[in-house]
Structure formats: structure tokens, C-alpha cells
A and B are shown apart, each in its own frame.
Chain A
Amino acid sequence: MTETVKGNDPGERGAQPEEVIRVEGLAKDFRPGFGLVRKRVLHGITFSVRRGEVFGFVGPNGAGKTTTLKVLMGLIHPQEGRATILGHDIRESAFRRHIGFLPENPYFYDYLTGREFLDFYARVSGVTKADRPARIERLLDDVGLTHAGSERLRGYSKGMLQRIGIAQAIVHDPEIVFLDEPMSGLDPIGRKEIRDLILRLNAEGKTIFMNTHILSDVEMVCHRVAILVKGRIRWVGGAADFREADGGGADVVLSRVPPDIVAAMEDAFGTGFRGQGDRIEVRVPEKRLPDLLRLSLDGGAEVVSVTPHRQSLESLFVDTVHDAEALDPTAVEESR
């Protein structure tokens, strides 16, 4: 899973990328049941998303990703903080012609056909009557559902629903597309289709905000990532940052290393040195890899393998979640 991020790279666009989503100190309480007890699920989160990027909002189940997205979509009202999208306060509704949204596990009117469904969303999005038919055919084609356009959604598979759901989100050609767990519950082929669709939309210049807990997908499509744990943002960074979080080092496996060379290596690479005799593993930072290889080859050792070693998002994620739990075992606290 080391495929590089495709699509356009917003980092290379210019000095100051425009922040199209800004979230400042957002806090949300839920009242489970009817009591007065409030449970805080978002603890003043702050982050921003730049124009043109695929932004991954990542976290374990129950972290508050969907809640954050619902606040951004104006579906629930936050207790504290504010957020703007394309410079508009999220309480407004007119700017929503520039954004699209695919909810988590969406349900759609299953008595409508694919075409009727898209026509309905095109109408409420303000697509003119003249533009609608062509727009809908293009969308059906884009998401690979032309053949199913006259079929009722009741007969759609989960993957087809997810694709018509994305079509619904982009029916009015928005600048930003918000996707909540777009790949969960799909088989590998379905996931690849969605992934390709996301990359294609991004290549067309759309900013993508994506909630997910599937890390391999994040590594493949996201430019930047924020890790949310129990309602708090614990890490924000570029995809390149976590790929090279510890200097892009490598694990080198050697065999038939002469004893004097072993000693020299132990001196030079002490902490990353493991094994003995016929098989020795050395972990080195990228900078020192040439030194190690020169020493080994000059000394007559055999290089079995060199594995570039990256901190995966997964290990970063696991570490972050662990740290967060160690720091704050009651992150989801009862208040008031």
C-alpha cells in the first residue's frame, strides 16, 4: 500500500493556499435520552482545509467525525465555536450551492429511478431545467450508472447506491465535496471505484473533505490528514509528513558479515543493530544508508535486502490514539 497520491497537489500551487474550510473551537454536546445530562462529543476542535486538497478526517468509531460533518452541513448546531465554508458562516444556506454532501450509510428515496433521483437533487440545487437532462446523463456516465438510470434505487447494490450518492453530491458542480465514510461497507472493487472517483473529482479541481476510519484508503487519496480522537484533534499534517515521520530510514538485512565488520557496525549503528552470525538486521536513517552499504560491501558482506521503512498512517494512528487515551482517559466526559 505505497501507491503515491495522485491528482493535483495543492502544495505546489503557490505560497499561501486558500483555506476554504475553517473550523474554530467547535464544541458540541449531546443529550442522550431525556435527562439533563450532557455528553460533550466535540471539545473545541480547530482545523482548516485548503483549496484543492483531499483532506482526510480520520479517527476511530465514535470519535466525532460524523458530528463534525453534521455541524458543517448545518444539520446540528454547535454549543461553542464557529466555522466558515468558502468564507460563509455555516448557518447560512445560499452558499451551499457550492458544496455537496454524501452522508454516512445514506438512504435514498428508493421509489425513484436513478434519473428521477438526480433530477430531484438537481432541482433543489438550482440547476436550470434546460441544463438538467444533459447534466444528469453526464453524471450517470461519470459514476458508471448509465445502464441503471431507469432502474429504481430499490434495486441498486450498496456500491451503486454509494455512487449515485456521490452523483447527487456533485449534481450542481460544487467546489467542495464532503463525504462521510464513502468507502465503508464496500467490497474491494467498490472501494476502488469510489477511490478513483474521488481522485478524478480532485483532479477536476474540487476540494474533498472525507471522513474515514479506513487507513489504507486515506494513504492512497489524501493530501492532508487530521486525526480525531474522542472529540479532540490529536494530529494534523500532510500525507508526506507521516510517510517520512522518522526520516525515511531503511531496514537492511545482511548475511556472511565478517566478524571485524560486525564489530565496526556495532560501533557505528549500535542502537539499530540486531542479530548475529549469518544474519544481521540494521535499521538506519536515510542519511546513513550509503555508509552502511559501503561498509558492508567493502567488507565482503552480502546485502540480502534493503527495505525503506516508513511510519505508516496506521502506526501513527495507533500511537496517537494510545497517547490520547493515556493522556486523557475521560476524554468523553460528562459535563453539567
Chain B
Amino acid sequence: MISPGRVSAIASNTFREAVRNRVLYALLFFGVLLIGVGIVVSSLSYVEGDRILQSVGLSSLRLFGAAIAIFVGVGLIHKEVDRRTIYTILSKPVSRTEFLLGKYLGLLVTIWLQVAIMAAAFVVVSLATGAPLDGGHAAAIGLAGIELAVVVAVATLFSSFTTPMLASLFTAGFYVVGHVTRDLRELGAASESAWVQQGTWLLHRALPDLESFNLTVQAIHQLEIRPDQVLLPLLYGVLTIGVLMAAASVIFERRDFR
């Protein structure tokens, strides 16, 4: 039985530790800076100034959110093992799955807080320049949050068994690949070779497609966003996180802490 009390105790301690990390503030600073710089960039262009501004803003939010998840996230479990704080925690009636879940949620709350700060910066900049703001932007930012929840789960999975260095490389690799598999598949489909066609199709199917969480284009062009364009990625994200965390838990259960 997973106890919400124990998981939340670990999550809140994880949050406390994560927000002490200076890397987080450096990344947040540059994220907010880039969102602000959008004003300058958009003012240089007479056409589509608002769109450039918001495109830069939403992309910065997604990219720096992922960077924080990767660089702050991968160290957290390792640190507990390395400093042996995990010994006392696991000697309590805390299962390894609860520990992992607490770490995940603590980190997720940290990242979402950063997203909220960057979203606030985005809103301020949009209002200041008179760029339009509507539900589409909210949906785009919401799904960016879901995408980051997936990235945090990936970071947790990798750091459940490898060093922070490798975990950050793997997670960053996963992030990049997760954004190109759709393009690769489209390129592959146009290929003459059946091998390439099937290979790229499989790659796209097997790895989470992070582009499905990207509503930037719809938001900045004020295109209509149907409910299923939000709900399906949401469901997809939750399922993906479930699978990733279950795998992390199986790996973590088997580990020796020495």
C-alpha cells in the first residue's frame, strides 16, 4: 500500500532540497530573460511581432523547463544514495516505490513552480506589448507542464540506476529524440526503402512523442484548439508517466545500496 503521508513527506523534503540548487536559479534567470528578450526581437520586425514574441516566449518556457528537469532532477536520487540518507529512509516503513514516487512528485512540484514563474513572465510581456492572450495560450502552457512531467519521469527512471552524468545525457538525448521522431517518421515515410519506413515508424511508436504536447503554433496563430487536442495528449502523458515510473520502480527495487 502506498501511503500518501509518507510520499508527501519525501516529496516536500525533495522540494526543499531542489529549490536550494543554484543551477535552478541560473536556468530560471535565463528562461525569464529570453522571454523578455522576445520584446526586443519582435520590435525589430514589423510583421508578426506578436507571434515572434510569443513563439520565443513559449519555446523558452518549454526548453528551460526541460533543462531544469534534466539538470536539477537527475542529481536528486543519486545524492540520497551517495550521502547515504536513503539508508535511514528505507529503514523506516517506507517502500522503495514510495521513496521514488516522493522524489518524483517533489521534483515535479519544483519544475511546475518554475513553469508558473516563466508563465507569469510570459503573461506580463504579452500584456505589456499588447499581444493577444487567450485559452490557447493557457492550453499550450498546460501541455508544456505535462510534457515536463514526462521528462521528469524519464529523469527519475534514468537516475534510478545510473550516475547523474549519464542520467542527464540519457534524458537530454531522450528529450531531443522525443521531439524529432515525428519528423523522422514523416521523412521515413517518403523514403523508397521499406526498412527506413518501418524503422522510423517503429521509433516513433516506441518512444514517447513529445511533439504531441506542443501547441505553440496553434496558440500563437490563434487557431481553434479542440478539446481532444488537449485531452488526448494529457491521457497519453499520464499513461507514459505511469509506464516510466513502473519501470523505475522495478529497477529501483532490485538495487543494492552500498
Contact = CB atoms under 8 A, between A and B. Distances in A.
Interface residues of A, number: 36
A185 to B, nearest CB: 15
Contacts of B9: 120, 123-124
11 contacts: A75-B86, A76-B256, A76-B258, A101-B91, A103-B88, A109-B17, A121-B88, A123-B6, A124-B89, A125-B93, A126-B3
Contacts of A93: 90, 93-95
A22 interface: no
Given A123-B9, A124-B9, A73 B90 contact: yes
Contacts of A73: 87, 90-91
Contacts of A108: 85, 88
Interface in A246-303: none
A103 B84 contact: yes
A10 B5 CA distance: 37
A126 B93 contact: yes
A30 B6 contact: no
Interface in A93-149: 93-97, 99-103, 105-109, 111-112, 120-121, 123-126
B257 interface: yes
Given A70-B257, A107-B83, A126-B6, A101 B88 contact: yes
Enumerate the 6 nearest inter-chain pairs by beta-carbon distance, A residue then B residue, closest first. Answer: A101-B91, A123-B9, A76-B256, A107-B83, A96-B93, A97-B93
Contacts of B256: 75-77
Nearest to A171: B92
A172 interface: yes
A74 interface: yes
B258 A30 contact: yes
Contacts of A109: 13, 17, 85
Interface residues of B, number: 26
Interface of B: 3, 5-6, 9-10, 13, 16-17, 20, 83-95, 254, 256-258
B221 to A, nearest CB: 46
Interface of A: 30, 67, 70, 73-77, 93-97, 99-103, 105-109, 111-112, 120-121, 123-126, 165, 168-169, 172, 178
Given A30-B258, A75-B87, A103-B88, A124 B6 contact: yes
Contact of A96 (B5, B16, B86, B91): B91
Given A75-B258, A100-B91, A109-B13, 16 more contacts: A70-B87, A75-B91, A76-B257, A77-B254, A95-B93, A102-B88, A106-B87, A106-B88, A107-B84, A108-B85, A112-B16, A123-B6, A123-B9, A124-B6, A125-B93, A126-B3
A301 to B, nearest CB: 61
Contacts of B6: 123-124, 126
B256 to A, nearest CB: 4
Contacts of B254: 77
A111 B258 contact: no
Contacts of B88: 101-103, 106, 108, 121, 165, 168-169
A121 B88 CA distance: 9
Interface centre among B16, B87, B91 (most CB of A within 10 A): B91
A103 B87 contact: yes
Contact of B87 (A96, A101, A111): A101
B90 A111 contact: no
A187 B252 CA distance: 38
Contact of A106 (B84, B90, B94, B95): B84
A150 to B, nearest CB: 16
Given A100-B91, A111-B16, A124 B10 contact: yes
B17 A111 contact: yes
Contacts of B20: 111
A172 B6 CA distance: 14
A133 to B, nearest CB: 16
Contacts of B89: 124
Nearest to B102: A124
A70 B255 CA distance: 12
A70 B88 CA distance: 11
Contacts of A105: 84
A75 B257 contact: yes
Nearest to A103: B87
A330 B205 CA distance: 54
A102 B3 CA distance: 23
Contacts of B13: 109, 120
B206 to A, nearest CB: 28
